[in-house]
Amino acid sequence: MANLALPLITLLALLGSVACQGLSVGYYMYSCANAESIVREAVKSAIASNNGTGAGLIRLFFHDCFVEGCDASVLLNTTGSAQPTERACAPNLSLRGFDVIDAAKAELEDACPGVVSCADIVAFAGRDATYFLSGKAVDFDMPAGRYDGRVSLDSAALANLPPPFASLQELKDMFAAKGLDTEDMVTLSGAHTVGRSHCSSFSDRLPPNASDMDPAFAAELQANCTSPTGADNTVPQDFETPNVLDSQYYRNVLNHEVLFGSDAALLASNQTAGMVRDNAFTPGLWEAKFKAAMVKMGRAGVKTSTDGEIRKKCWMVN
């Protein structure tokens, strides 16, 4: 009888070919062993210099995946056409963290030229920012194997990114379009526990406009948003624990101490209000759900070698 045992190197090659058909944990284990640690160090250094960069990287991941899928289309300055890219769209003008992605990409190109996609760097960076901002409490594996897209349109960003005034049904519909259910939507909204917002994004909820916002909280926001020069000030999205990724956001929702209409909308149904209460008061529940939701979001619209590429520079197509 013939020996049916495969040599180890052949087995690894077969396993690698299977992994390449979709996302997998440890995707770069053999092609660029230090890929994830290089990204993590870049994120760690950036957050050490400016804590707000971490919130920016989580938001960057979200804004990438919701437009054209998780394909680094949000990073492009140009695609060679006259049409403005996603970065020129109003919701993306306040995005940050591009420099962190570029720094990680440059180091990866030195170590493993043409191997690690910008899309995977964005996904790893979002995961790593979550890890550091949560005090290492939210730790999870991020599958990889994404290719970079070649399409980036400002009009697509405007059509696909949930606005701060979105109703509950609009939120459900926009998340569902990306393969994310209502619980994913409520869970990912918890990322508003870190970061800052421009006052113009929620001015419609401040007096003299009517809203369900706590009056004392509204007065504090108005004081912080008032500028003699007319500047569009920024304020923390979570006044209680502004620099920590935790479940405080959900207690803020229940207390009517949130900035956006889309935050307040989570109380608009018994179903979502129940999820808010569970996340607010069940220790560890939101953290566990956030890990799963980040991975699930990271599978949206993934490109392969047939409709994508591995960019040499993250801000331009090859």
Whole-number percent of the chain with pLDDT over 90: 89
Is the per-residue pLDDT at 248 higher than 60? yes
- What are the residue ranges spanned by the domains of the chain? 31-163, 168-294
Span 282-299, mean pLDDT? 98
Cα distances from 54 to residues 8, 47, 135, 227, in angstroms, run 40, 6, 12, 27
- d(C-alpha 91, C-alpha 188), whole Å: 17
Mean pLDDT of 7-17: 41
- pLDDT (0 to 100) of residue 12: 40
* Structure confidence by residue, pLDDT tens digits, 102-142: 999 999 999 999 999 999 999 999 999 999 999 999 999 99
* CATH number listed for the domain at residues 168-294: 1.10.420.10
pLDDT greater than 80 at residue 254: yes
| Lowest mean pLDDT, pick from 7-16, 51-60, 264-273 | 7-16
**What pLDDT does 79 receive?**
86
Which amino acid, 216? Answer: A
- Whether 21 has a pLDDT exceeding 50, the answer reads no
Q: What is the pLDDT of residue 230?
A: 76
Query: Count of CB atoms within 10 A of residue 178's CB?
Result: 19
The model's pLDDT over 74-99, given as tens digits with 9 standing for 90+, comes to 999 988 888 899 999 999 999 999 99
Mean pLDDT for 1-18 is 40
Provide the CATH topology of domain 31-163. Peroxidase; domain 1 (1.10.520)
d(C-alpha 128, C-alpha 142), whole Å: 9
Concerning whether 63 is annotated as a catalytic residue, the answer is yes
Q: Does the pLDDT at position 19 exceed 80?
A: no
Q: What is the pLDDT of residue 228?
A: 83
- Smallest Cα–Cα separation from 313: which of 151, 146, 129, 116? 116
pLDDT of residue 2: 39
- The reported pLDDT for the residue numbered 30 is 97
- Domains 31-163 and 168-294 agree in fold: no
CA distances to 87, 128, 132 from 237, rounded to whole Å, are 22, 20, 18
Q: pLDDT tens for residues 151-205? A: 999 999 999 999 999 999 999 999 999 999 999 999 999 999 999 999 999 999 9
